[in-house]
Amino acid sequence: MELKQGGISEKKKCDTRALSKGAAGTVSEAAKEEIQKREIKGVRELSGVVLGDIEKREKMEAGVLSEGEMRLLETSNVAFLPLYADESRYLVLKGGGGSGKSIFAGRKILERCARGGYHKFLVVRKVEKSLRESCYAQLRGQIAEHFDAGEFKCTETPMKIKHNATGNEIVFCGIDNPEKLKSYYNITGVWIEEATDLTEADFNQLDIRCRCDKSDYMQIILTFNPISILHWLKRRFFDRALPNCRVHESTFRDNRFLPQEAVAVLEGFRRTDPYYYSVYYENQWGVFGKSVFDAERVTKRLGEVGAPVQVGRFEYDLTMRIDEQGYLLSNVRFVEDRHGWVRIYAPPAAGEYYAIGADTAGEGSDDFIASVVDATTTMQVAVMDMETDEDIFAEQLYCLGRYYNDALVAVEVNFSTYPVRRLQQLSYPKQYVRQAVDRYTQRPMHAFGFRTDSKSRPLIIAGLVGHVRDYAETICDKKTLEQMLSFVRDERGRPQAQAGAKDDCVMAHAIALHACCQQQVRQGRGAGRVALSAAEVFGADGPRMSGFGAGEKRVVV
């Protein structure tokens, strides 16, 4: 089969290298660098393509690819090719049904056994007896298909696979056999199949056991389906960037060897089981119970959103106030940092107006979250996600607002007024104003900050529900969308986060959209565009009485 027109460039085709059967030594550094540099985007262009005999012969004669490397390229799913060269401590493979993640995990440890160096791999599932018919059988099948006869020795009791030339071993154990697990030492790598069956404590024990100074690198591979949005795997590996960790996601579309009958089964879940369809077809985190939001729209949007264009934090200088009553922040600047708190989906545009909703950590169950929206289009342009002290959050919030053209900032004040007061001390120019009652005189007054109570909470949630139903494409943050799926009604009908889940991103976004009623918006086109208050555009009472409207998108451009 020849490469289709418009495929990957000749240079990239020639440089596609990975670990190979019978290859002496490791992948060349140049090949490893090339694979890691282009990652999934480049190799995906090869999906479903097998190099033709003429191309293979030309490349092998040119010394570009070895016979073993070419064989690996032909028999592997290209979405996983960069992972053969990955040396991260944690290789987390989240995938839908039939994505090929487990086949890759097995192939990688076999290839590492076949080359030089010391390797001892531990293959684990929750229950040991399930290993024989799953991982052990799969590995034996791959040995028969891709390796020479007699290259490996497989024993049934105890289950063990040994490479005869190198002496490298693969051993098997269940978490339900702790004494056997403790007997293994000098483990250089672990493959955890169906990792969702393990507790976090189980994983920590395996993490401790994976230690040896004889191997080139040690790696724990986790393979699983995303059965629950509340699972510890999501919190540990997906909600935060973890050092020395690589996360990879795949679906059946990445498996060019999957039979069409299996694809039809997965597609059939669309009609028969929405949960199975979400988890095994779309590779989305599973949610039990009925979401307050339109789950189909949210799930669809989850499959569309991409990574932030920038991730980082704000740095600034401290300047003494003229009255010497504290400090001001000056020279505010955004610094890229992959472990930073701020996820930017669209940078600030000159002359545009923005609103920020901030949900504070409250009693400590949630994080400090701020969601930034374009006040005219309601497009979500940034999210600040922090698990830190309140004073740091307040100063980063100040910087975020200044960065987005002095955005209107609406901070929830239910648990603490410190962020609002700190913004005042820093002379922030534009905060959301609510009507309150003076606790001493009982007279109406205006106060900074948004208070979530029995009247305002249903208002902003109802508005957000309608907005998601009609304009889900305006939400760009994956974490916000995932929280929407676990935002359900309790036994009393009150909408809130499912037990064990969080709703801080949801509430921050709802507050941000509601706060648009006090921000200016743009009307008109081109040079004739003018800035108007929301009240002038939508009416004096409408926005304030109904938030941003049930499903009403502020498109006035």
Same-domain check for residues 226 and 242: yes
In a domain, 17, yes or no: yes
Do 509 and 438 belong together in one domain?
Answer: yes
Domain boundary among 84, 114, 138: 84
Regions of the chain short of the pLDDT cut 50 = 1-28, 31-32, 34-54, 537-557
Q: What distance in Å separates the CA atoms of residue 312 and residue 332, rounded to the nearest whole number? A: 13
Structure tokens at 476: 């760009």
The residue assigned the tokens 């040690």 is 218
403 found inside a domain: yes
The backbone torsions φ and ψ at residue 326, rounded to the nearest 5 degrees and listed phi first, read: 105, -170
Count structural domains, the chain. Answer: 3
Residue 62, in any domain of the structure = yes
Same domain, 332 and 410: yes
d(C-alpha 517, C-alpha 548), whole Å = 6
Residue 314 CA to chain centroid, in angstroms?
22
Question: Could you tell me if 131 and 268 lie in one domain?
Answer: yes
For residues 73 and 106, state if they share a domain: no
Asked whether residue 552 is domain-assigned, the answer is no
pLDDT of residue 171: 95
Give the tokens for residue 437: 């009652």
CA atoms within 13 A on the CB side of 124: 31
Residues 135 and 199 in one domain: yes
Calculate the CA 46 to chain-centre distance.
25
d(CA 476, CA 306): 8
Contact between residue 217 and residue 85 where contact means Cβ atoms under 8 Å apart: no
What is the token pair recorded at 62?
């040119």
The CATH number of whichever domain residue 494 belongs to comes to 3.30.420.240
- Among left, alpha and beta (phi > 0; psi -120 to 50; other), residue 39 is left
Candidates 348, 337, 344, 347; CA nearest to 313 is 337
Rounded to an integer, what distance in angstroms lies between the CA atom of residue 446 and that of residue 429? 16
Residues 341, 419, single domain; the answer is: yes
Assess if residue 525 is contained within a domain.
Answer: yes
pLDDT of residue 215: 77
Q: Which residue has the tokens 């919190």?
A: 235
Report the CATH number that the domain containing residue 122 is assigned in CATH: 3.40.50.300
Question: Do 77 and 95 reside in the same domain of the chain?
Answer: no
In a domain? residue 299: no
Domain boundary among 66, 84, 102: 84
Same domain, 514 and 399: yes
Tokens standing for residue 487:
């935002």
Sign of the Cα pseudo-torsion (277, 272, 138, 155, in order): positive
Instruction: Indicate the pTM of the whole model.
Output: 0.62
Within a domain: residue 557?
no
Range of the domain at 233: 86-286
Of 84, 103, 122, which marks where a domain is finished? 84
Domain assignment of residue 294, yes or no:
no
Question: Are both 327 and 391 inside the same structural domain?
Answer: yes
* Residue 194 C-beta-side C-alpha neighbours within 13 Å: 12
Q: Can you tell me whether residue 193 is helix, strand or coil?
A: strand
Which residues lie below 8 Å from residue 440, measured CB to CB, with a gap of 6+?
A: none
Whole-number pLDDT of residue 524: 62
Q: Which residues of 401-416 are buried (b: 16+ CB within 10 A; e: fewer)?
A: bbbbeebbbbbbbeeb
Which residue matches tokens 């999934």? 40
Do 101 and 113 lie in one domain? The reply is: yes
Same domain, 186 and 213: yes
| First vs last C-alpha separation in the chain | 51
What pLDDT does 380 receive?
97
